[in-house]
């Protein structure tokens, strides 16, 4: 069995999120998604519209997702890779190069983002 993991905030869930999860699942047999906790988002200077427990429930309902875990720190990625015997770490290509240090533990793949959609864009449009 090939295990894949990805991380994200998944606020204001949209088609870009769904596309990323679908493509991540295509890279293996079992997809784990770590959803950023509200506490971790505060550390990152992010404010979410949807609380973490609801974002986790939404992601967990996606048919491509096998397991959802909370993301509480930047440092937990290595521990998660080891704990869950991860074969492939996946992130959007806007993070290209930022997680290359994980290549000593598993394959690292950066997937293209869906053009024309982002949570930031949605938030900006809602403000207008």
How many residues are given for the chain? 128
Of 1, 2, 16, 57, the C-alpha closest to 33 is 57
Residues annotated catalytic, as ranges = 44, 46
- CA distances for 47 relative to 25, 26, 71, 93, 119, angstroms: 28, 31, 15, 22, 12
125 and 15 Cβ atoms separated by less than 8 Å: no
């Amino acid at each position: 069995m090939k295990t894949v993991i990805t991380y994200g905030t998944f606020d204001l869930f949209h088609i870009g999120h769904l596309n990323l999860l679908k493509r991540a699942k295509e890279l293996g047999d079992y997809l784990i998604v770590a959803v950023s906790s509200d506490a971790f988002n505060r550390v990152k200077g992010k404010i979410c519209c949807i609380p973490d427990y609801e974002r986790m429930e939404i992601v967990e309902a996606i048919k491509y997702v096998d397991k959802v875990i909370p993301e509480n720190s930047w440092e937990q990625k290595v521990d998660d890779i080891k704990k869950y015997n991860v074969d492939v770490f996946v992130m959007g290509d806007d993070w290209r190069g930022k997680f290359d240090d994980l290549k000593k533990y598993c394959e690292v793949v950066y997937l293209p983002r869906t053009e024309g959609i982002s949570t930031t864009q949605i938030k900006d449009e809602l403000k207008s």
